[in-house]
């Protein structure tokens, strides 16, 4: 900007007499230069009119020939210091009236001109656009002398007529460089001495019939003036302006005559704002009939308020909070256009750098799960070639567990990643609305702007959409609602003026009629205008170079009830080929792929489709979108096209189209077109039943379409395709086509399960169990049935089914096993692993399908046994799985088995052995490219080998496993990976996933977290209900329950209660290894606290603490990042109890630093708190204050309001 200002300072403005300026601008020019010259002249004309408008009538006589004449004006131009070959169309900087001394500046507002800075100083034209928004202002000296602004300068009727005449004369000379002489252009009579403006009063300057401008009527000399100007290549818009100025002198009542100078100024301002549309003549085709109305398709008329509201909402979302924006309105009211204005803004913000960063972010978070995302959002592959390669690896049946909820969660992960305060993004049946609610109510990092449109006259109260709005409000999601009505008359006239390229004052007579007919509905307006043009009621007059119409005829037109009738009326007059094309496309929906049109064109019945397509596009019914699809321009056009088909013939046409496409495409890979083919044939269900030869092919077609829908995660649509396939089959299908029946029925059950139709899924699976001929054919159905039972919490039923199947597969499943039996199996299994394991074994695949199936059912019986059987029963099943793999080779369930056994046998004295098993499990998981089972692998890595390394890294992997599990549909295991975090959020997901199995576990975490926020008030009642039966020794939730009780009771200072639950935890037969050491840590601290309070020596307690510290030293030596800070804090407390002050402070500082280093923020706070109390006991209040302040900061970061308040009370006492 500084350089531009410096350059401008070197330019000089100078005044040139208007007549001299006109002569200097009259050199020969090329086409572009002529346009620039015309804009300069229009700018001067605009300045003169605005100067006259601002003239005080007591200073300038507006009917004085000398005052309003070419010789009384001067042009202020910018003389550039830089040499160039020609003048610029932006050189005009003002005009001046010589006799009065009045001058006026013409300029673009600074906030606009800065957007189009002329870097090369060659005229300021950017991208061929010459239009400018100009403003005028009286120069400073004039403002002091003349403070009056009468706005029109038309105080006297006679003065007005004279002024308009003189201005027309001036404009004639300005634009033609030819003198306008009164005696050269007499209007009537032979008396040439009579002024022309008086003669005009005696003449009818135009002949009109019902408002139509009659073309080729140059019988009057006034029209000869216009014709002469056109001969001199003056644009018709300027000719029309001069004509209308002269018409205003007449008393004939010409409808287009100017009434004020202000109207002239507005017209000139419009010419300069968009010269290509309003100033220059339109390029004519071969005939006037080929001229088209020039609608501004990108412009949104009359929606400034709504556009501002949606933009403001978008800006709020960019700051990091989701919002919803609902737009209601009648069909064609501009809802989509309003959304498109926002799309343009968002698209402009996307850069290649942002897309590259987004690709990296997706790759880092999703990893192998990018395959799942790519199935749902194929366009994601466009972000990176690597995504396309990964997506291509999807195998049939590899993600059986994906369901409606897993799709929702996968998309939610995507939203969280692409959403940030800098990158919002923008996206209906009940399932779709549920997904939208999930997205918007997410409080874990998503930033989403949802814009939904609906027809408020077609959506009644009680519709699911209004239920969604209510639920969003309950979830505290900001909600914005607007309702679009028809355009008002002013904005409708602006729209029609733009289309006709005519001054708004001229188009107003037509727009008023259109408003009466359409009530301002934008799409109805477009359809009505096209109808007028097609029927010859709106014509382009090549002589006048403008659109003309007959107002009376149009006003007499019968008013259609709606746009549908108007469109149908127009379509009925189309050619046979166009009607056929529109009917066919209407059967397919709102859009059609080019390949489908191509396939149909191969049939003799539809040979004319391509011709019809060309006509439909040229007539504006169909357009080609950015994806290359042929699309109806509006859904009302599609509805009108569909109504061309008699109701009695619709099913037959659908069916015929489907059969034709099927016969042409049979054996070809038609991609997504298979959905269209199947859907068309399915319309003729009754016709299929009458044709036995079609039943099987149609069933196979629907099965293929259903499988593609499943692969694309459209479970609901897949369900309907499979349902259609089954319904088309004959009753004896299980006998005549057994394999088809078996596969189709199972796919139907899968789709029903994925669509949360659990009852239907179980009934369908029951059919397989009854009709399948052998166990091998029944196994997939049994496995899916067990998965459903587990998800619904029917664990004993699932266990019984698994046990029965394993027995039938030749495996031994005892009713009970003794701890001694398992105690011998575990070392036996580990010895086998040591003896058998080598690199070759990792590459040996299990070939026996029976054993593979056994491994599959063992993997799921583990989950059920964990909850309803003793721990040693779980260990038994794990040993069986590992032994099968060691003897017969590995399969996809081997990594899970190895990881679980490593978590069972983990001890610090066999750490390296455990790490090796876990490493091999991970290698196998990568080799098998697991998705579903990977969740189980990560979960048990956390419970086993992961505890030997950084717990924080393990927790990060757990969060990823949680996300991966939900994405792949493995919700039950995923929630075990939820761990700690935003518990309420996870609980909401449990409700969505209907996961009874893990709900109680998560409630336990929720109660613990609540304890540190508000002492458990928000979850106390719910927790009591959950754990009312904790005394039952068979309850496998006891371990988790006791662990949490020890943890939270210690932190809130209930020492006796903490000690009680430590004892109860110790009574469990096989507590988890890592959790046992955490229990030891808190038990040691709690014991030391109780010893401090009693102030008496208790040798047994001291010995117990010594034992705990010794075991923690072993733990810290093998897993330093997890246990070093715990050991140091125990030692600090012990040293302090025994008055070893120096040693105690060394250990406190070490514990604080170790906790900070390994990111145990709560234990860092605890070490600071303990150090503070110790310093206080030593009367070192200054250090105590420092440590308590550090503790408070840590607890604030941890999020524990209870601990923050506790420490603050200690600070208050010290201060």
Provide DSSP, 354-398. HHHHHHHHHHHHHGGGHHHHHHH-GGGGGG-HHHHHHHTT--TTT
The secondary element (H helix, E strand) that includes residue 598 is helix 594-601
CA distance 631 to 454: 20
CA distance 946 to 313: 45
**What DSSP character marks residue 605?**
G
101-127 pLDDT, tens digit per residue, is: 888 998 887 654 444 444 444 444 444
Cβ atoms of 415 and 405 within 8 Å: the answer is no
CA distance 970 to 830: 29
Helix runs in 501-546, H state only? 504-518, 522-534
CA atoms within 13 Å, Cβ hemisphere of 934: 28
Helix (H, G, I), strand (E, B) or coil at 845: strand
Cβ atoms of 79 and 13 within 8 Å: the answer is yes
Task: Please report which confidence band the pLDDT of residue 201 belongs to, taking 50, 70 and 90 as the band edges.
Answer: very low
725-765 pLDDT, tens digit per residue, is: 988 888 888 988 899 999 999 999 988 887 778 889 999 99
Measured between its terminal Cα atoms, the distance across the chain in Å is 58
User: What is the structure's pLDDT at 389?
Assistant: 59
Structure tokens at 729: 């089959």
Task: Please report which confidence band the pLDDT of residue 42 belongs to, taking 50, 70 and 90 as the band edges.
Answer: very high
> What's the chain's length in residues?
1215
Q: What share of the chain in percent tops pLDDT 70?
A: 72
User: What is the structure's pLDDT at 296?
Assistant: 85
* Distances from the Cα of 644 to the Cα of 32, 458, 523, 592, 634, angstroms: 49, 22, 20, 18, 16
CA distance 338 to 484: 10
Structure tokens at 268: 């000139």
- Between CA 1185 and CA 1191, with CA 1188 as vertex, the angle to 5 degrees is 155
Mean pLDDT (whole number) for 143-148: 50
pTM of the model: 0.62
Task: Please report which confidence band the pLDDT of residue 505 belongs to, taking 50, 70 and 90 as the band edges.
Answer: very high
Structure tokens at 57: 């009538």
With a CB cutoff of 8 Å and minimum separation 6, the contacts of 1106 are: none
CA distance 480 to 308: 12
**Across the beta sheet with 591-592, what order do the strands follow?**
591-592, 630-632, 622-624
Cβ atoms of 505 and 494 within 8 Å: the answer is no
Helix (H, G, I), strand (E, B) or coil at 629: coil
Mean pLDDT (whole number) for 155-170: 78
CA distance 1088 to 1066: 19
In angstroms, how far is CA 869 from the centroid of its own chain?
Answer: 47
Task: Please report which confidence band the pLDDT of residue 9 belongs to, taking 50, 70 and 90 as the band edges.
Answer: very low
Cβ atoms of 177 and 26 within 8 Å: the answer is yes
Nearest to 856 by CA among 893, 819, 904, 811: 893
* Crossing angle of helices 236-247 and 157-176, rounded to 10°: 160
833-857 pLDDT, tens digit per residue, is: 888 766 677 778 899 999 999 999 9
Which of the residue ranges 245-259, 376-390, 823-837, 1080-1094 would you say has the lowest mean pLDDT?
A: 376-390
Name the most confidently modeled range: 87-91, 455-459, 716-720: 716-720
Cβ atoms of 528 and 555 within 8 Å: the answer is no
Which of the residue ranges 216-220, 706-710, 906-910 would you say has the lowest mean pLDDT?
A: 216-220
Mean pLDDT (whole number) for 925-934: 64
Cβ atoms of 265 and 49 within 8 Å: the answer is yes
CA distance 302 to 515: 14
Cβ atoms of 152 and 262 within 8 Å: the answer is yes
Provide DSSP, 111-150. HHHGGG--TT-S---BTTB-----EEEE-HHHHHH-----
781 vs 901 pLDDT, higher one: 781
Task: Tell me the β-bridge partners of 482.
Answer: 327
Count of other CB atoms within 10 angstroms of residue 634: 20
Nearest to 230 by CA among 178, 300, 152, 165: 178
Mean pLDDT (whole number) for 673-699: 82
Mean pLDDT (whole number) for 425-433: 50
In whole numbers, what is the pLDDT of the chain averaged over residues? 77
332-363 pLDDT, tens digit per residue, is: 788 888 888 887 777 766 667 777 777 777 77
User: What is the structure's pLDDT at 477?
Assistant: 86
* Crossing angle of helices 1120-1137 and 1161-1177, rounded to 10°: 10
Cβ atoms of 895 and 925 within 8 Å: the answer is yes
Task: Tell me the β-bridge partners of 138.
Answer: 104
Task: Please report which confidence band the pLDDT of residue 1009 belongs to, taking 50, 70 and 90 as the band edges.
Answer: confident
Asked whether the predicted pLDDT for residue 866 surpasses 70, the reply is yes
With a CB cutoff of 8 Å and minimum separation 6, the contacts of 1146 are: 1132
1071-1114 pLDDT, tens digit per residue, is: 556 778 889 999 999 999 999 887 767 778 889 999 999 989 98
Q: To the nearest 10°, the Cα dihedral for 659, 660, 662, 667?
A: 150
């Amino acid at each position: 900007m500084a350089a531009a200002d410096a350059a401008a300072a070197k330019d000089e403005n100078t005044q040139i007499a208007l007549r001299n300026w006109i002569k200097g601008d009259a050199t020969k020019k090329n086409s572009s230069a002529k346009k620039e010259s015309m804009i300069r002249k229009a700018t001067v004309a605009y300045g003169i009119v605005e100067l006259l408008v601002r003239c005080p009538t007591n200073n300038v006589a507006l009917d004085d020939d000398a005052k309003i004449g070419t010789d009384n004006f001067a042009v202020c131009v910018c003389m550039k210091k830089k040499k160039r070959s020609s003048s610029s169309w932006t050189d005009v900087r003002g005009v001046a009236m010589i006799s009065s001394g009045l001058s006026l500046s013409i300029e673009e507002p600074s906030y606009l001109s800065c957007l189009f800075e002329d870097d090369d100083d060659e005229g300021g034209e950017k991208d061929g656009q010459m239009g400018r928004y100009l403003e005028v202002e009286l120069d400073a000296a004039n403002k002091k002398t003349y403070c009056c602004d009468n706005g029109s300068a038309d105080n006297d009727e006679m003065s007005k007529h004279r002024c308009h005449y003189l201005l027309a004369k001036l404009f004639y000379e300005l634009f033609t460089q030819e003198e306008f002489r009164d005696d050269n252009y007499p209007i009537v009579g032979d008396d040439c001495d009579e002024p022309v403006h008086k003669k005009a009063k005696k003449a009818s300057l135009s002949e009109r019939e019902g408002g139509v401008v009659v073309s080729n009527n140059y019988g009057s000399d006034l029209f000869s003036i216009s014709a002469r100007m056109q001969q001199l290549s003056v644009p018709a818009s300027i000719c029309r302006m001069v004509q209308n100025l002269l018409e205003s002198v007449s008393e004939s009542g010409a409808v287009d005559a100017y009434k004020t100078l202000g109207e002239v100024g507005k017209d000139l301002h419009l010419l300069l704002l968009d010269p290509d549309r309003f100033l220059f003549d339109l390029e004519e085709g071969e005939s006037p009939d080929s001229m088209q109305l020039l609608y501004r398709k990108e412009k949104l008329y009359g929606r400034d308020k709504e556009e501002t509201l949606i933009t403001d909402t978008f800006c709020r979302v960019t700051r990091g909070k989701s919002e919803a924006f609902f737009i209601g309105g009648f069909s064609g009211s501009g809802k989509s256009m309003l959304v498109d204005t926002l799309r343009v803004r968002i698209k402009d913000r996307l850069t290649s750098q942002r897309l590259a960063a987004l690709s990296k972010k997706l790759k880092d978070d999703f990893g192998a799960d990018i395959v799942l995302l790519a199935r749902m959002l194929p366009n994601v592959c466009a972000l990176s070639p690597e995504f396309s390669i990964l997506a291509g690896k999807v195998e049939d049946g590899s993600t059986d567990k994906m369901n409606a909820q897993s799709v929702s969660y996968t998309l939610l992960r995507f939203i969280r990643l692409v959403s940030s305060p800098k990158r919002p993004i923008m996206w209906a049946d009940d399932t779709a609305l549920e997904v939208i609610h999930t997205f918007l109510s997410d409080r874990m990092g998503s930033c989403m702007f949802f814009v939904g449109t609906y027809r408020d006259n077609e959506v009644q109260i009680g519709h699911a959409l209004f239920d969604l709005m209510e639920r969003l409000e309950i979830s505290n999601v900001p909600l914005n609602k607007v309702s679009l009505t028809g355009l008002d008359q002013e904005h409708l006239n602006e729209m029609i003026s733009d289309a006709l390229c005519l001054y708004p004052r001229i188009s107003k007579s037509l727009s008023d009629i259109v408003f009466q007919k359409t009530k301002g509905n934008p799409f109805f307006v477009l359809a009505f205008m096209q109808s007028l043009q097609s029927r010859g009621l709106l014509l382009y007059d090549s002589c006048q170079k403008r659109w003309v119409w007959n107002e009376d005829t149009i006003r007499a037109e019968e008013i259609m009830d709606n746009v549908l009738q108007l469109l149908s009326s127009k379509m009925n007059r189309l050619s046979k080929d166009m009607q056929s094309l529109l009917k066919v496309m209407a059967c397919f929906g709102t859009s059609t792929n080019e390949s489908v049109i191509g396939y149909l064109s191969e049939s003799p019945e539809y040979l004319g489709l391509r011709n019809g397509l060309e006509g439909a596009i040229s007539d504006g019914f169909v357009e080609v979108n950015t994806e290359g699809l042929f699309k109806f321009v509006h859904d009302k056009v599609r509805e009108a096209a569909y109504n061309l088909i008699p109701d009695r013939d619709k099913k037959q046409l659908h069916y015929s189209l489907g059969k034709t496409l099927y016969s042409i495409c049979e054996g070809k890979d038609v991609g997504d077109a298979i959905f269209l083919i199947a859907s068309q044939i399915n319309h003729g269900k009754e016709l299929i039943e009458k044709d036995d030869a079609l039943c099987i092919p149609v069933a196979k077609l629907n099965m293929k379409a259903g499988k593609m829908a499943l692969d694309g995660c459209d479970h609901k649509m897949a369900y309907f395709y499979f349902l259609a396939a089954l319904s088309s089959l004959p009753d004896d299908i299980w006998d005549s086509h057994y394999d088809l029946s078996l596969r189709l029925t199972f796919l139907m059950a899968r789709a029903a399960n994925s669509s949360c139709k659990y009852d239907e899924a179980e009934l369908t699976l029951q059919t397989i169990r009854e009709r399948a001929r052998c166990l091998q054919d029944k196994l997939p159905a049994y496995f899916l049935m067990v998965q459903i039972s587990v998800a619904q919490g029917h664990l004993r039923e699932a266990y019984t089914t698994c046990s029965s199947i394993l027995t039938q597969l030749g495996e031994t499943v005892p009713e009970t096993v003794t701890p001694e039996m398992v105690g011998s199996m575990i070392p036996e299994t580990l010895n086998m692993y040591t003896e058998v394991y080598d690199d070759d074994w990792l590459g040996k695949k299990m070939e026996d399908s029976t054993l593979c199936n056994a491994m599959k059912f063992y993997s799921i019986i583990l989950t059920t046994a964990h909850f309803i059987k003793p721990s040693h029963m779980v260990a038994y099943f794990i040993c069986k799985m590992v032994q099968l793999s060691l003897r017969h080779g590995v399969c996809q369930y081997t990594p899970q088995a190895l990881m679980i056994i490593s978590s069972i046998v983990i001890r610090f004295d066999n750490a390296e052995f455990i790490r090796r098993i876990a490493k091999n499990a991970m290698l196998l998981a990568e080799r098998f490219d697991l998705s579903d089972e990977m969740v189980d692998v990560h979960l048990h890595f956390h419970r086993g080998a992961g505890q030997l390394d950084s717990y924080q890294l393990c927790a990060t992997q757990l969060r990823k496993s949680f996300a991966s599990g939900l994405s792949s549909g493995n919700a039950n295991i995923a929630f075990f990976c939820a761990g700690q975090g935003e518990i309420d959020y996870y609980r909401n997901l449990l409700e969505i996933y209907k996961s009874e199995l893990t709900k109680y576990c998560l409630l336990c975490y929720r109660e613990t977290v609540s304890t540190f926020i508000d002492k458990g008030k928000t979850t106390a009642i719910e927790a009591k209900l959950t754990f009312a039966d904790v005394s039952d020794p068979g309850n496998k939730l006891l371990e988790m329950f006791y662990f949490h009780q020890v943890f939270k009771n210690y932190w809130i200072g209930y020492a006796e209660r903490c000690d009680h639950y430590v004892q109860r935890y110790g009574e469990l037969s096989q507590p988890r290894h890592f959790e046992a050491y955490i229990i030891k840590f808190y038990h040691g601290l709690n014991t030391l606290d109780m010893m401090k309070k009693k102030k008496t020596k208790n040798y047994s307690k001291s010995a117990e603490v010594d034992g705990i510290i010794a075991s923690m030293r072993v733990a810290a030596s093998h897993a330093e990042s997890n246990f070093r800070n715990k050991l140091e804090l125990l030692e600090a407390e012990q040293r302090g109890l025994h008055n070893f002050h120096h040693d105690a402070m060394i250990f406190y500082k070490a514990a604080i630093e170790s906790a900070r280093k390994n990111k145990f923020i709560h234990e860092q706070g605890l070490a600071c708190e303990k150090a503070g109390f110790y310093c206080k006991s030593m009367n070192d209040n200054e250090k105590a204050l420092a440590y308590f302040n550090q503790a408070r900061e840590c607890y604030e970061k941890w999020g524990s309001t209870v601990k923050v308040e506790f420490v603050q009370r200690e600070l208050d006492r010290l201060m």
